[in-house]
Amino acid sequence: MFLIIIIVVVLLCSIKQISEYERGIKFTCGKFSSVMTPGWKLVFPIFQSYSKIDIRTKVIDVPEQEVITKDNVSVKINAVIYYNIFDASKALLCVENFHYAVSQLAQTTMRNSVGSVTLDELLSCREKISETICEIVDKATDEWGVKVHNVELKDVSLPGEMKRVIAKVAEAEREKQAVITKAEGELEASKNLAEAASTLSKSAGALHLRTLSTINDVSSDQSNTIIFALPIEVLRAFENSSVEKIVKSITDNTKK
């Protein structure tokens, strides 16, 4: 009876639970024997031992690193890494602390990758640089049973002097664009004015009508004083009318 009780106690102590998000690494007499899947498993005391490995996606916040870019600009940059364990046995047997190892590898790779590009490339191609870092770290951690899913560069801090320089460059670029836009507008306006002048010159009396329309618009405010210069077309109209009157008067006198 006493022996049965001992056996029952040993069996109860030997039952270990592995959760769905974990994998168990079992050792028998100090040697790796198997990977335990989720559920209740037997691990006999003294002869066997086990360790649990969490296979859920983990996040590493890479601390801020001071890096010198290819064009000798000192910047501070930090990142975040997303990874998980795809082979629990390798993660436990091939590296002492896989979490710390991934973090250190990411820091070194980030410094090397950022140091190989210029500041403009770092600011404009941040996503591409992140993909490059992710590929390098993922390839290096395969033998640890670690899968790196993503690396995101969170923040790039520039020195105060460099921020002022970039602000001046951006301001100069905006002024340049404003001058170009204004010149293009003036060019377009001059083309439209030339086309309008050509159209008015081809139509008899068009300039006179345009002048009257302008006078009508200006005269809506009684406080305005208008100095009106008669267009040549109007003077010619008066001239033709006067000549016709003189000719008619001479003709009438001759008939009398």
pTM of the complete model: 0.62
Distance CA 123, CA 115 (A): 13
Using CA of residue 126, residue 146, residue 61, residue 97, what is the dihedral sign? Answer: negative
pLDDT in tens, 205-235: 666 666 666 666 666 666 666 665 555 555 5
What are the pLDDT digits (tens) for 147-182? 999 998 888 887 777 667 666 777 777 888 888 888
Which residues fall within 8 angstroms of residue 132, CB to CB, at 6 or more apart? Answer: 113
Helix (H) or strand (E) holding 35: strand 31-36
Rounded to whole angstroms, the Cα distance separating 200 from 139 reads 75
In sequence order, what are the residues at sequence separation of 6 or more whose Cβ sits closer than 8 angstroms to the Cβ of residue 200? Answer: 206, 207, 210
pLDDT by residue (tens digit) across 20-46? 999 999 999 889 998 999 998 888 888
In terms of residues, how long is the chain?
256
Residue type, 210: R
CA distance 95 to 60: 17
Of these ranges, 91-100, 114-123, 198-207, 217-226, the one predicted with the greatest mean pLDDT is: 91-100
Q: Single out the residue of 88, 85, 81, 84 nearest to residue 59, CA to CA.
A: 81
